[in-house]
Structure 1
Amino acid sequence: MAENHKIAIVILSWNGEKLFPKFLPSVIRNSTEPGTEIYVADNGSTDHSTAFLKEKFPSVKIIELEKNYGFAEGYNQALKQVNADYLVLLNSDVEVTPNWLEPCISMLKADKNLAAVQPKILSYEKPHQFEYAGAAGGFIDLFGYPFCRGRILNRMEPDLGQYNSPTPIFWASGACLFIKAESFKKANGFDGDFWAHMEEIDLCWRLKNQGYKIAYQPVSVVFHLGGGTLSYNSPKKVYLNFRNNLFMLFKNLPRNQFTRIFFARMILDGVAALKFLLGFHFYSFWAVLKAHASFYRNLGKLIKKRKKLLKLTTVKKQTEIYRGSIMWKFFIQKKRKFSDLNFNPEK
């Protein structure tokens, strides 16, 4: 790998002191390619993260942010202080393996239109199973619901080698995201209003609307703990997922689909809220209502963003968007695996 191409591995951390001894050694040990630097961006932690890093991991560069900006804006602020050609955004609860860097960086180097790459993401606790946040590459359905090769909703598949070929994907997971610095900057980074969750899907959608590609590289393998910062079942996560999904759809849907798809999604959110209520999941019910209230509060800002993005859009149809409903497939037709969908994203 040529030395004149700088690689920056940037780990955004908030109160991650307990995670560093478990996960950071693998990153240091397996990231020795020339021109590679490892950063930890401390997102306004209240523990002893920075002091611990300085004492135990002196080779790691530290970026200290003055407050907790959230995941999306935290990365935006941190990356202003990083000079590199290729960025690797890595969660603090990810263990990497030997030869994890080179395959993904090589893919980015080989294709000028390829903006981002995701490795194979397996579960740290169940190493032979795909992990929720990304698995073998991300997609969305017609109504904006995310799913992955290897993970449909909350159902994870075992890794049996069924997704061992590189392939175009719709979104690459923020748990381990390889992206060209030029592409990240050209897209103005993450949308800081998302705070956390789905900001990487929004970023990838914006890049794809501008003609760039996103890919999956299975030769690179990492293990993700998941839920290290926010539990998968927390009402705050429900709130962020529903709100940010509305933000994302409103900003990125093409003109000819906008009214029909967005109206349908509003109805589907109402069905989900009712399901939470009937199941006595009152905190999740209120989380959906709060998500919609936040959407309406931000509508003026979202309209401005949408108008700006529509002017930049050059691609009208995304083949990596599944043209059916993943909810219908999962709950009604009982489809539990990506292969059950008969979905070829390359066509």
Structure 2
Amino acid sequence: MDSPLVSIIVVNWNGKRYLKKCFDSLFDQTYSNIEIIMVDNGSTDDSVHFVRDSYPHVKVIENGENRGYTVANNIGAAEASGKYLLFLNNDTRVDSGCVAALVEAIVSGQGVGCWACTQLSYDGSPEVIPEGGMDFLGYPTKSQRTFYASGACLFIDRHLFFDLGSFDEAMFSYVEDCDLCWRVRLRGYDVACVSEALVYHAGGGTSGRGATQLKSYAESGKQFVTSLRRRYLAEQNTIRMLLKNYSLPILALVLPIYLAVNAAEIIFFCLTSNKRVIREVYLKAYRWNLENLSETIKLRKKIQASRKVNDLEILKNVTFHVGKLRALREIGVPKFVE
């Protein structure tokens, strides 16, 4: 098997408690031709000193402030020397054969532009909600079809990554992985999962609770907890993603349904006297998209001009149930915190 250099990019923000297991697992890989880059987003927990002292072979880039997931990963990719890029969350540890399995897949795979890993929970038990499914409204959901590779462990050819325009830096965090993989698909490539590439993921270890904690909430009867900021960023970025990536005819069909689902959510929160969620999530997301609409349209023109497949090919890989309704049935109404 060819042994091209793989650049592994780990974005860190106050994740020192996870870094030892993460880097130990990377230095234990059976595939040796790797470089590891940590991009630190202004951590205050001594992460940078710990890594420089304990892992001198890790290249550390300091941003000085929290510039978000997308900007930090793009900075890391720009500094990378590898033919392939593995974007890896700091709250992960990887199986010793993970990188080797990914390289074998990308070298031998034809027509696949982006690869996902098989995610297990941090303690080794299977994830309840499989990563990678998406509904037609852009919402992550259960599916047998892998639409996108989770940003927690996303593997891609470096040239393709930059040819696509890299991560959308207006998306501070969340949904950026769906957006990138949608653009991969618009170029005519597939997105697939490598079953042998095992990644153990804490899930929201440094950014807050996410889908990987849903099992414990569903089984225990506890109310699922998320943050207003997380929900706002997800809503903001999903709208931007839809506006950029769908063709106009399909967008004209999908956008009213998306807004109708949002309207139902807004009415619910009005009736339950939770108007802060309306202001801090939905209205804020709409306002941001209106303020940034001209930039979104510019990006849309570039994406649509370079697309090689029509939306029928895209729609083959999404589900047509509404993912938010499924999540509501399974975990109930979340509790919002700061």
User: Would you say same fold, with TM above 0.5?
Assistant: yes
Q: Which moved more, 1:318-327 or 1:290-299?
A: 318-327
Supply the distance in 2 between the matched residues of 1:7 and 1:266 (Cα, whole angstroms): 42
Alpha-carbon distance change, 181 to 112 in structure 1, aligned in 2, over 3 angstroms: farther
Per-residue Cα deviation, 1:255-289 (whole angstroms, up to 9, x for no partner): 22111211221121121222233334444332222
**Unaligned runs of at least 5 residues, structure 2:** 210-225, 332-338
Aligned length: 311
Supply the distance in 2 between the matched residues of 1:320 and 1:67 (Cα, whole angstroms): 37
1:243 pairs with 2:236 = yes
Supply the distance in 2 between the matched residues of 1:256 and 1:84 (Cα, whole angstroms): 39
Supply the distance in 2 between the matched residues of 1:122 and 1:278 (Cα, whole angstroms): 38
Supply the distance in 2 between the matched residues of 1:58 and 1:148 (Cα, whole angstroms): 40
1:260 partner SS: helix
Q: Which moved more, 1:218-227 or 1:243-252?
A: 218-227
Alpha-carbon offset, residue 103 of structure 1: 1.7
TM-score normalised over the length of structure 2:
0.85
Does the CA-based 8 Å contact 2:6-2:86 persist in structure 1? yes
Does the CA-based 8 Å contact 2:37-2:76 persist in structure 1? no
Does the CA-based 8 Å contact 2:244-2:303 persist in structure 1? yes
Does the CA-based 8 Å contact 2:269-2:278 persist in structure 1? yes
**Unaligned runs of at least 5 residues, structure 1:** 150-162, 337-347
Alpha-carbon offset, residue 328 of structure 1: 5.0
Alpha-carbon offset, residue 34 of structure 1: 3.0
Supply the distance in 2 between the matched residues of 1:131 and 1:222 (Cα, whole angstroms): 14
2:288 to 284, 287, 294: 294
1:141 partner SS: coil
Per-residue Cα deviation, 1:23-49 (whole angstroms, up to 9, x for no partner): 3222222x2413112221112323322
Alpha-carbon distance change, 24 to 294 in structure 1, aligned in 2, over 3 angstroms: same
Per-residue Cα deviation, 1:187-218 (whole angstroms, up to 9, x for no partner): 11000000100001000001101111110111
Alpha-carbon offset, residue 67 of structure 1: 3.3
Alpha-carbon offset, residue 320 of structure 1: 0.6
- Give 1:172's aligned residue: 149
2:86 partner SS: strand
Supply the distance in 2 between the matched residues of 1:315 and 1:110 (Cα, whole angstroms): 23
Give RMSD over aligned pairs: 2.1
| 2:176 partner letter | E
| 2:266 partner letter | A
- Give 1:153's aligned residue: none
- Give 1:285's aligned residue: 278
- Give 1:25's aligned residue: 24
Alpha-carbon offset, residue 326 of structure 1: 3.3
Alpha-carbon offset, residue 19 of structure 1: 2.1
1:96 pairs with 2:94 = yes
2:125 to 128, 131, 136: 128
1:258 to 251, 260, 265: 251
| 1:72 partner letter | T
1:204 pairs with 2:181 = yes
Alpha-carbon distance change, 329 to 49 in structure 1, aligned in 2, over 3 angstroms: closer
- Give 1:184's aligned residue: 161
Supply the distance in 2 between the matched residues of 1:85 and 1:92 (Cα, whole angstroms): 22
| 1:312 partner letter | S
Alpha-carbon distance change, 230 to 275 in structure 1, aligned in 2, over 3 angstroms: farther
2:317 to 317, 320, 323: 320
Alpha-carbon distance change, 270 to 211 in structure 1, aligned in 2, over 3 angstroms: same
Does the CA-based 8 Å contact 1:122-1:128 persist in structure 2? yes
Q: Which moved more, 1:73-82 or 1:279-288?
A: 279-288
- Give 1:306's aligned residue: 300
Does the CA-based 8 Å contact 2:68-2:173 persist in structure 1? yes
Alpha-carbon distance change, 281 to 21 in structure 1, aligned in 2, over 3 angstroms: farther
| 2:164 partner letter | A
Alpha-carbon distance change, 292 to 118 in structure 1, aligned in 2, over 3 angstroms: same
Q: Which moved more, 1:203-212 or 1:273-282?
A: 273-282
- Give 1:49's aligned residue: 47
Supply the distance in 2 between the matched residues of 1:181 and 1:148 (Cα, whole angstroms): 29
Does the CA-based 8 Å contact 1:274-1:285 persist in structure 2? no
- Give 2:260's aligned residue: 267
Alpha-carbon distance change, 198 to 213 in structure 1, aligned in 2, over 3 angstroms: same
Per-residue Cα deviation, 1:59-104 (whole angstroms, up to 9, x for no partner): 2221223432210111111211111111110000001112111222
Alpha-carbon offset, residue 310 of structure 1: 1.0
Does the CA-based 8 Å contact 1:117-1:179 persist in structure 2? yes
Supply the distance in 1 between the matched residues of 2:8 and 2:175 (Cα, whole angstroms): 21
Per-residue Cα deviation, 1:124-179 (whole angstroms, up to 9, x for no partner): 15x323166xx3x4122122221144xxxxxxxxxxxxx8xxxx621000001111
Supply the distance in 2 between the matched residues of 1:131 and 1:293 (Cα, whole angstroms): 34
TM-score normalised over the length of structure 1:
0.83
Alpha-carbon distance change, 148 to 88 in structure 1, aligned in 2, over 3 angstroms: farther
| 1:237 partner letter | R
Identity of aligned residues (%): 28
Does the CA-based 8 Å contact 1:119-1:216 persist in structure 2? yes
Does the CA-based 8 Å contact 2:102-2:197 persist in structure 1? yes
Does the CA-based 8 Å contact 1:172-1:216 persist in structure 2? yes
